[in-house]
């Protein structure tokens, strides 16, 4: 049996720099891995059946990325192994923090170990990108500068700041955003150096705030809680989670306390940015 983390990520910036002939958008983004996320338990079982349970029973479906990842790995390797999977869900659905993609990656990495398949990280990432553009960054397990559709990764070393991540209880449709006429699709191409220096923005943010008044209101409310020890509120990915980067865990805790006191309807958590994923560290200890 294996118990593995499935950590969250933030997009510290996200530029849409063009549209490809296949209809996908070309992106540039800075992925920050966090030390907070879901937990996946994998237990070998006889036969080839794949069984999934979840702390949220509504998510234990054949379409869940965990189930799809296990089936994709079976298909790619012609293995007849089976597995029981249990997902303890902590990350919000559709929040832009990579919950589903990270669950998918932890399944691929974990089953590669449990089933003794001996696939390389490159091979697992190639399987993962067919399931979701954000899956490879979790498979590889490091904070990264990303291009392409988000799968062309360059490792980066980021300061390990503390973040307050807030979900306002609103679901954002990524597909609808990508197809929206107001979305900016031709931001000038940037560089790793400028992104690491703190330049950049999230091209989704203006459209999300225009389409979802509740998220726009949350931006304004959270901005009132930030002070000298925190940076401006930003959107992660295509939303709807927002994040506040702080200079210390104490500053982050104070902001979190204020959110709980003043806006109890929001889901919020603290997390520290890390450069290496807890998935790979945890698996190395169990190997």
Catalytic positions are: 9, 134
Distances from the Cα of 79 to the Cα of 47, 51, 91, 188, 270, angstroms: 10, 16, 31, 45, 40
Q: Chain centroid to CA 173: how far?
A: 15
| DSSP secondary structure code for residue 57 in this structure | G
Supply the DSSP string of 268-279, one letter for each residue. Answer: EEEEEEESB-HH
Instruction: Check: CB of residue 33 under 8 Å from CB of residue 143.
Output: yes
* End-to-end Cα separation, the chain, in angstroms: 11
Return the axis-axis angle of helices 65-77 and 99-114, rounded to nearest 10°: 40
Q: Evaluate whether 225 touches 80 at the Cβ level (below 8 Å).
A: no
Buried-state track 106-141, b at ≥16 Cβ within 10 A, e below 16 = bbbbbbbbbbebebeeebbbebbbebbbbbbbbbbb
CB 243 within 8 A of CB 234: yes
Q: Which structure tokens are listed for 251? A: 């500053």
- The answer to whether the Cα torsion of 33, 92, 6, 101 is positive or negative is negative
Give 135-162 as a DSSP string.
HHHHHHTB-EEEETTTTEEEE------E
Q: What CA–CA distances, in Å, run from 203 to 151, 214, 233? A: 18, 19, 14
């Amino acid at each position: 049996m294996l118990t593995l983390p499935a950590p969250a990520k933030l997009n510290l910036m996200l530029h849409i720099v063009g549209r490809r002939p296949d209809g996908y958008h070309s992106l540039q983004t800075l992925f920050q891995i966090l030390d907070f996320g879901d937990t996946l338990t994998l237990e070998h079982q006889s036969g080839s059946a794949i069984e999934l349970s979840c702390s949220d029973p509504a998510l234990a479906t054949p379409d869940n990325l965990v189930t799809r990842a296990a089936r994709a790995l079976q298909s790619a390797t012609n293995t007849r192994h089976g597995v029981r999977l249990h997902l303890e869900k902590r990350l919000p659905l559709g929040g832009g923090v990579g919950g589903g993609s990270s669950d998918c990656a932890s399944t691929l990495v974990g089953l590669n170990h449990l089933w003794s398949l001996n696939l390389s990280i490159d091979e697992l990432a190639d399987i993962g990108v067919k399931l979701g553009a954000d899956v490879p960054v979790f498979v590889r397990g490091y904070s990264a500068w990303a291009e392409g559709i988000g799968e062309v990764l360059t490792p980066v070393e980021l300061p390990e700041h503390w973040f307050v991540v807030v979900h306002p209880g609103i679901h954002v449709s990524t597909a609808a955003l990508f197809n929206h006429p107001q979305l900016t699709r031709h931001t000038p191409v940037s560089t790793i150096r400028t992104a690491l220096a703190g330049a950049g923005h999230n091209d989704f943010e203006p459209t999300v705030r225009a389409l979802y008044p509740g998220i726009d209101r949350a931006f304004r409310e959270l901005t009132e809680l930030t002070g000298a020890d925190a940076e401006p509120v930003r959107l992660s990915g295509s939303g709807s989670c927002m994040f506040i980067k702080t200079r210390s865990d104490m500053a982050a805790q104070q902001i979190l306390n204020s959110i709980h006191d003043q806006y109890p309807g929001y889901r919020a958590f603290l997390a520290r940015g890390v450069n290496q994923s807890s998935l790979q560290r945890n698996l190395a200890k169990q190997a």
